[in-house]
Amino acid sequence: MSEAPILKDTTRSSGREALQKKIQAAMALASAIRSTLGPKGLDKLLIDDEGRTLVTNDGVTVLETAKVEHPIAKMMINASSTQDRIAKDGTTSTVILAGEMLQNAWQLILQGIHPSTVARGYRKSEQYILQCMSEIKFEANENIKNSVVKTSLAGKGHSSMQETIARVSLDAVRMVAEQDSTVDLSKIKLISQTGGRVEDSKAFRGLMIPKKRISSNMMKTVKHGKIVLVDGGLEKSNVATDLKLNVTTVGVLESFRQEERNMLKRQVDKLIKNNVTVLACRESIDDDIKNYLAENGIQAFRRVARSDLNMLARVCNTNLINSIDALTTNDLGSFISSENTTIDGKDFWIIKGDGNAATIIAKASTADFVSEVERCFDDSIGVSIHLVEDGFVVCGGGASYVALARRLRRYAETIPGREQLAIEAYADAIEVIVRVLAENAGIDPITTLLDVVAKQTNNDSDYIGINLSTGRPSDMVELGVLEPQGIVKQAIIGATEVAISVLRIDDVLWAKQEMQMPDMPEDGM
């Protein structure tokens, strides 16, 4: 039977033609962010539909902000987003590696090698490389960790800014990790402020919330007490429907209001009975009751954001409740200290609980610059967590990729058949990182790669990479150019998955979109 009636409204592309178009799309996306890689990488100016601008060289920010329609390009963007979520760095490397793997695969396909053979060779290469990671990694001491975080910020701001962000991020992560080997990212809060220098950024122990207690009569500092978090308020009930009251006797209205105040007092009495000393509500706390709270030694905060309440719940080991009437002993949290303080003229509530938390105040001179500083802190915090939880690092400057490629070529010699060519192509692909780093620094990429490979081989060292300041191969450990092994590992995994997924697609079917009439506006609009 003919397939024409089934596919009459579908455009079909198959075979080598379809694969060529997919690889072209992948290479185009990789080329778009290629120039942002490394400390000598350039920035991108992004302009949205409303004319707002954003200047950044963060690969995943560029990719996620740009409007991309091609499905293959979206696959690569998803891989970059996954890299950002898991490793917080290496997003640009993931896309560049995937593009290079596909380009090398295309050269093999032109020679008559089937895409499935290339995919099998790529999978074997990935598995072998992951085994070799243990040979090139080493454990970082405290002095090395700061250099590793600083390396993740290469190309983002000046050296003083990188030093400050690296130090503050590591301090914050260490505060959270004091009680546990794993770090809960949700216990690190980032507050950005315009005005001042990046070097003024600091990390504080405990959770800081830009709030002030509702009454100055309340205690400024409370030690070792119980806390209640309300996902609501402590206020008079609002009547949901229209209500008309006929007041016929003097004092009836005042009695009505007094009963409302008594209802609020009964809720406060329940807090007093349970020895609660701090109250935080997502909604308002009635002014008529704040003095009663202060008289009974309860420190209260109102209009606390839901996200802050969730963080407080984790730090104080408690739950949010809908109302005080529903309070049980299981809903009581505990804290070490709750304090109101003023920092740089702004009021903050600092609470320290049994669950360690940290707050970073990130400063920058302008609103545009503070957004870039926030992205830098996001990356450096993620890298710091990797260092604290894992502690193993590899050399940067492309050294680790060259070391893995050298091992992979020796492995290829043991594999018979055409898969050997695919493994060789994979080894060539992961060396692209050195070439792009040199290219962005204005250095000859081919000569640089050959020099690094030769020096690694002659010195039998996996630590030799490209020194972008001199343009010559150098020991990356001595230069302090290092990165967590998890970043390189995840970049290779993500890039390989994208490349193999694309190679396994042999048919592309585009359904034609029918023109649709917009919905008619409702009457009266």
Rounded to an integer, what is the distance from CA 504 to the centroid of its chain? 30
pLDDT in tens, 246-298: 656 656 556 656 777 788 888 989 999 999 999 999 999 988 888 899 999 99
In the DSSP assignment, the letter for residue 218 is S
Residue 6 has pLDDT above 70, yes or no: no
pLDDT band for position 512 (cuts 50, 70, 90): low
Residue 100 has pLDDT above 80, yes or no: yes
Residue 521 has pLDDT above 80, yes or no: no
d(CA 84, CA 75): 14
pLDDT in tens, 229-251: 999 888 876 544 455 656 566 56
- Tell me which amino acid residue 389 is: E
Instruction: Let me know if 91 is a catalytic residue.
Output: yes
User: Residue 487 has which token pair?
Assistant: 């970043």
7-138+394-511 and 208-355: identical CATH topology: no
Selected residue with higher pLDDT from 159 and 422: 422
Q: How far apart are the first and last CA of the chain?
A: 53
Selected residue with higher pLDDT from 410 and 509: 410
Choose among 448, 410, 484: nearest CA to 136.
484
Residue 38 has pLDDT above 80, yes or no: yes
For CA atoms 144, 145, 149, 152, the dihedral sign is: positive
Q: Which of 36, 56, 61, 92 is catalytic?
A: 92
Report yes or no: 199 and 164 within 8 Å, Cβ to Cβ: yes
User: Residue 35 has which token pair?
Assistant: 């120039």
- Tell me which amino acid residue 18 is: A
What CATH homologous superfamily does 141-206+361-390 map to? TCP-1-like chaperonin intermediate domain (3.30.260.10)
Q: At what angle do helices 367-389 and 159-176 cross, to 10 degrees?
A: 50
State the pLDDT at residue 241.
Answer: 47
User: Residue 230 has which token pair?
Assistant: 């309300």
Name the percent of the chain lying above pLDDT 90.
46
Instruction: Let me know if 58 is a catalytic residue.
Output: yes
> Lowest-pLDDT range, 146-150, 235-239, 353-357, 385-389?
235-239
- Say which residue the tokens 């150098």 belong to: 474
Residue 338: HSE in the Cβ half-sphere, 13 Å Cα cutoff: 27
Q: Which of 36, 56, 58, 428 is catalytic?
A: 58
d(CA 288, CA 311): 29
Residue 502 has pLDDT above 70, yes or no: yes
269, 272, 277, 279 alpha-carbon torsion, rounded to 10° = -30
State the pLDDT at residue 520.
Answer: 44
d(CA 87, CA 91): 9
Choose among 198, 130, 188, 145: nearest CA to 383.
145
pLDDT in tens, 115-145: 999 999 999 999 999 999 999 999 888 788 8
Whole-number average pLDDT of the chain:
86
Q: Which of 84, 308, 331, 379 is catalytic?
A: 379
State the pLDDT at residue 515.
Answer: 44
State the pLDDT at residue 249.
Answer: 65
State the pLDDT at residue 13.
Answer: 65
State the pLDDT at residue 453.
Answer: 96
pLDDT in tens, 348-370: 999 998 878 899 999 988 877 88
pLDDT in tens, 77-97: 888 888 888 887 888 999 999
Residue 493: how many other CB atoms lie within 10 Å: 18
Rounded mean pLDDT, 14-27: 83
pLDDT band for position 107 (cuts 50, 70, 90): very high
pLDDT in tens, 306-318: 999 999 998 898 8
d(CA 498, CA 428): 17
d(CA 83, CA 170): 20
User: Residue 120 has which token pair?
Assistant: 């099998």
Residues present in the chain in total: 525
Architecture of domain 7-138+394-511: Orthogonal Bundle (1.10)
Name the percent of the chain lying above pLDDT 70.
89
pLDDT band for position 155 (cuts 50, 70, 90): confident
> Lowest-pLDDT range, 11-20, 72-81, 146-155, 341-350?
11-20
DSSP-based three-state secondary structure for 286: coil
Instruction: Let me know if 390 is a catalytic residue.
Output: no
pLDDT in tens, 443-486: 999 999 999 999 999 999 999 999 998 999 999 999 989 989 98
Fold of 208-355: GroEL (3.50.7)
Contacts of 1 (CB under 8 A, 6+ apart): none
Report yes or no: 165 and 201 within 8 Å, Cβ to Cβ: yes
Q: How far is CA 315 from CA 39, 175, 189, 412, in A?
A: 37, 13, 12, 52
Please list the residues that pair with 349 across neighbouring strands. 209, 340
Residue 514 has pLDDT above 60, yes or no: no
Rounded mean pLDDT, 394-409: 95
Choose among 413, 277, 286, 264: nearest CA to 336.
277
pLDDT in tens, 418-444: 999 999 999 999 999 999 999 999 999
Q: Which of 36, 91, 117, 277 is catalytic?
A: 91
d(CA 109, CA 105): 6
* Domain positions in the chain: 7-138+394-511, 141-206+361-390, 208-355
State the pLDDT at residue 244.
Answer: 61
Selected residue with higher pLDDT from 178 and 491: 491
Rounded to an integer, what is the distance from CA 202 to the centroid of its chain? 20
Selected residue with higher pLDDT from 8 and 394: 394
473 membership: H or E segment, kind and range: strand 472-475
Report yes or no: 142 and 388 within 8 Å, Cβ to Cβ: no
Instruction: Let me know if 53 is a catalytic residue.
Output: no
State the pLDDT at residue 254.
Answer: 62
